[in-house]
Amino acid sequence: MSSAAIPISTSAGSSGRPKRAKLSGWGRYPALDCDLYRPEKFSELASIVASNASSILARGAGRAYGDAALNADNRVVDLTRLDRMISFDPPSATLSAEAGVTLSEIIDVFLPRGFFPAVVPGTRYVTLGGSIAADIHGKSHHRDSSFARQVKSFNLLLASGEIRRCSREENADFFWATVGGMGLTGVILEVELELRRVESAWLEGEEIRAPNLDAALEAFERTDSQYDNSVAWIDCASGAGKLGRSILTVANFAPRNSLPPAMRQEPFAIQPKFQPSVPFDLPNFALNPLTVRTFNAAIYAMHRGNARPKRFDYQSFFFPLDSIHNWNRIYGKRGFVQYQCVWPETESRAGLIETLEAIGASRRGSFLTVLKKFGAQDGILSFPMPGYTLALDFPVADGLMEFLDRLDAMVLARGGRVYLAKDARMRPETFHAMYPNLPRWQQIKASIDPNHRFSSSLARRAMMIPA
């Protein structure tokens, strides 16, 4: 019996059903209704983009904090199922993979072979596409700049349905507008990424206790030329003479022969750790000035002595918060807002003092606050600039938005800017003033997507694209 005459119902090539879903970023604020698709084949993705129904936005792992990966009442395409690796060339350390592949998978597959992504953010659970769209940065920014530095090329699916290869040589305008372009130029399909060679899964460095802000800044200046990775946890609950007291952590990947003999046999083996999870939302009062102050004082007290040589496994060094699943739940149902800003080098010290004092006076404790020195930066809308960056998180509470507007004004007055991938509330005029290259980006966006088929809640709120 031949089946040729029997029509087989097939959904190959169709776009599938969307699911109406309340989506949010990692900060869980805001939560907005979107029409969510999750293609499992390229042909499904292509037909979703080809349909003219409403504006569209690609979404990766949903680890941007605010509304960057939301598209309220419009279409969102979750790309996490398009996560295939395409090729790996050991001599050039170059991996080609689809945009839905996460850094976590890359580490799992390639660290045992002696390769690691040159730039990783504070979580390993981000996708390649999202990392390019936000042009993320990590603890090695002063050395390696942001994520784009290791990206050789990517294929971009345009609103027209065409696919363009973008690199520094080919379609360079599209390349630089997509890096840090928050997903608004098209859908990043396949990425060519250069990994870094490492000899072990361990890092060696120091933990430096800095009793105040000046000591912390001095420690960054002194150690950044020696270490590929540096970051400081900063106690934003202490004031006066202790303002800005920090624990600075600096380290390099350990060469194999510097490990103790017992570890040299398996330099890429680290013990898997118990990973607790936050099973439910903590009540909103769980984080209050008292608990924040106590927690921060305890962390500082735990690090005795001035400088201690230390060995870290890569997981606890790069991704300490990944060890607690759903840590975003400690902020309660209302969620939280991340606030990350950067000041130009000459304004950094004054900006940091002014901001830390404002936070102290507001009694809005930031549970975890991170300080880091940035290096050089390329990319039209990329966030980093040479200078110091401060990342804070605040539980959503009454008066918070007004308070953050005040911080914005202070950062802007010193020529600094705020990070879009963490933002959920910046005013459009602030955004426009902080990102002077915006008109050039808008020009490229208009040429590549004249009808603004690609849009997002962030794009409309910050007026990145015309209303």
Partner 1 sequence: MAKVLILGATSPIARLLAAHFAEDGATLYLAARDTAEAAKIATDISVRTGAVVHSGAFDAADFATHADFIERAAQKLGALDGVVLCFGTLGEEDAAQIDPNAALATIHQNFTGAVSLMTLAAHRLEEQKRGFMIVIGSVAGDRGRARNYVYGSAKAGLHTFTQGLRGRMARAGVHVMTVKLGTVDTRMTWGREGTLLTISPTRAADSIYAAYRRKAEVVYVPWFWRPIMGIVKLIPERMFKRTRF
Q: Which is nearer to partner 1, 6 or 262 (CB)?
A: 6
- DSSP assignment of 300-367 equals HHHS-SSEEEEEEEHHHHH-GGGGSBTGGGGG-TT-EEEEEEEEEGGGHHHHHHHHHHHHHHHT---S
Helix (H) or strand (E) holding 133: helix 128-133
- Rounded to the nearest whole angstrom, what is the least distance from the CB of residue 93 to partner 1 in the complex? 14
Helix pair 213-223, 348-362: axis angle to 10 deg: 140
- Rounded to the nearest whole angstrom, what is the least distance from the CB of residue 7 to partner 1 in the complex? 6
Whether the Cβ atoms of residue 210 and residue 320 lie closer than 8 Å to each other? no
- Rounded to the nearest whole angstrom, what is the least distance from the CB of residue 366 to partner 1 in the complex? 34
Q: Which is nearer to partner 1, 85 or 412 (CB)?
A: 85
- Among residue numbers 76 through 115, which ones bind partner 1 (CB under 8 A)? 81, 84-88, 98, 109
- Rounded to the nearest whole angstrom, what is the least distance from the CB of residue 147 to partner 1 in the complex? 21
- Rounded to the nearest whole angstrom, what is the least distance from the CB of residue 17 to partner 1 in the complex? 4
Q: Which is nearer to partner 1, 16 or 239 (CB)?
A: 16
- Rounded to the nearest whole angstrom, what is the least distance from the CB of residue 38 to partner 1 in the complex? 6
Asked whether position 1 contacts partner 1 by CB under 8 A, the answer is: yes
Among 23, 25, 27, 41, binds partner 1 (CB under 8 A): 41
Match 């000899």 to its residue by tokens.
Answer: 199
Q: Which is nearer to partner 1, 189 or 208 (CB)?
A: 189
Match 């300490």 to its residue by tokens.
Answer: 320
Asked whether position 6 contacts partner 1 by CB under 8 A, the answer is: yes
Helix (H) or strand (E) holding 129: helix 128-133
Neighbours of 365 (CB within 10 A): 24
In 3D space, the residue among 23, 27, 25 whose CA is nearest the CA of residue 35 turns out to be 23
| Region of 33-41, 55-63, 127-135, 235-243 interacting with partner 1 (CB under 8 A) | 33-41
Cα–Cα distance, 188 to 158 (Å, whole number): 9
Neighbours of 104 (CB within 10 A): 17
Cα–Cα distance, 448 to 451 (Å, whole number): 9
| Region of 1-9, 129-137, 438-446, 450-458 interacting with partner 1 (CB under 8 A) | 1-9
446 Cβ neighbours under 8 A, 6+ residues apart: none
**Could you tell me the sign of the dihedral formed by the alpha carbons of 121, 130, 66, 387, in that order?**
positive
Q: Which is nearer to partner 1, 189 or 444 (CB)?
A: 189
- Rounded to the nearest whole angstrom, what is the least distance from the CB of residue 152 to partner 1 in the complex? 17
- Rounded to the nearest whole angstrom, what is the least distance from the CB of residue 202 to partner 1 in the complex? 24
| Region of 32-40, 156-164, 250-258, 307-315 interacting with partner 1 (CB under 8 A) | 32-40
Neighbours of 31 (CB within 10 A): 15
- Rounded to the nearest whole angstrom, what is the least distance from the CB of residue 198 to partner 1 in the complex? 19
Q: Which is nearer to partner 1, 35 or 144 (CB)?
A: 35
Q: Which is nearer to partner 1, 269 or 299 (CB)?
A: 269
Asked whether position 272 contacts partner 1 by CB under 8 A, the answer is: no
Cα–Cα distance, 54 to 445 (Å, whole number): 18
- Rounded to the nearest whole angstrom, what is the least distance from the CB of residue 273 to partner 1 in the complex? 20
- Among residue numbers 396 through 415, which ones bind partner 1 (CB under 8 A)? none
> Looking at beta carbons, which pairs linking 269-275 to residues 24 or more positions away fall under 8 Å?
269/201, 270/201, 270/202, 270/313, 270/314, 270/315, 271/313, 273/315, 273/316, 273/323, 275/323, 275/324, 275/325
Using CB under 8 A, count the residues that bind partner 1: 30
Token digits of residue 343: 């000041």
Q: Which is nearer to partner 1, 109 or 297 (CB)?
A: 109
**Strands 31-37 and 75-78, how do they pair?**
parallel
Asked whether position 4 contacts partner 1 by CB under 8 A, the answer is: yes
Asked whether position 3 contacts partner 1 by CB under 8 A, the answer is: yes
Asked whether position 275 contacts partner 1 by CB under 8 A, the answer is: no
Q: What does the binding site for partner 1 look like in residue numbers (CB under 8 A)?
A: 1-4, 6-12, 16-19, 38-44, 81, 84-88, 98, 109
